[in-house]
Amino acid sequence: MKTFLEEFRQTLENAAGRLQQLSDEQSRISKTPGKWSAKQIMGHLVDSAGNNHQRFVRAQFKDDLVFPGYEQEEWVKVQNYETENWRELIQLWKSYNLHIIHVAENIPVDILRKKRVKHNLHQIAWKTIPEEEAVTLEYFIRDYVGHLKNHLEQIWSQYKI
Structure confidence at residue 135 as a pLDDT band (50, 70, 90): very high
Any bridge partners for residue 116, and if so which?
Answer: 135
pLDDT of residue 50: 98
Structure confidence at residue 32 as a pLDDT band (50, 70, 90): confident
pLDDT of residue 136: 98
Ordered by start, the domain boundaries in the chain are 2-159
* C-alpha distances in Å from residue 124, one per residue of 20, 140, 152, 153: 30, 10, 19, 21
pLDDT of residue 10: 98
pLDDT of residue 85: 97
pLDDT of residue 110: 98
pLDDT of residue 68: 96
Structure confidence at residue 51 as a pLDDT band (50, 70, 90): very high
CATH code given to domain 2-159: 1.20.120.450
pTM, two decimal places: 0.96
DSSP letters, 99-155, are HHHHHHHTS-HHHHT--BSSB-HHHH-SS---TTS-B-HHHHHHHHHHHHHHHHHHH
Task: Quick: pLDDT tens for 110-127.
Answer: 999 999 999 999 999 999
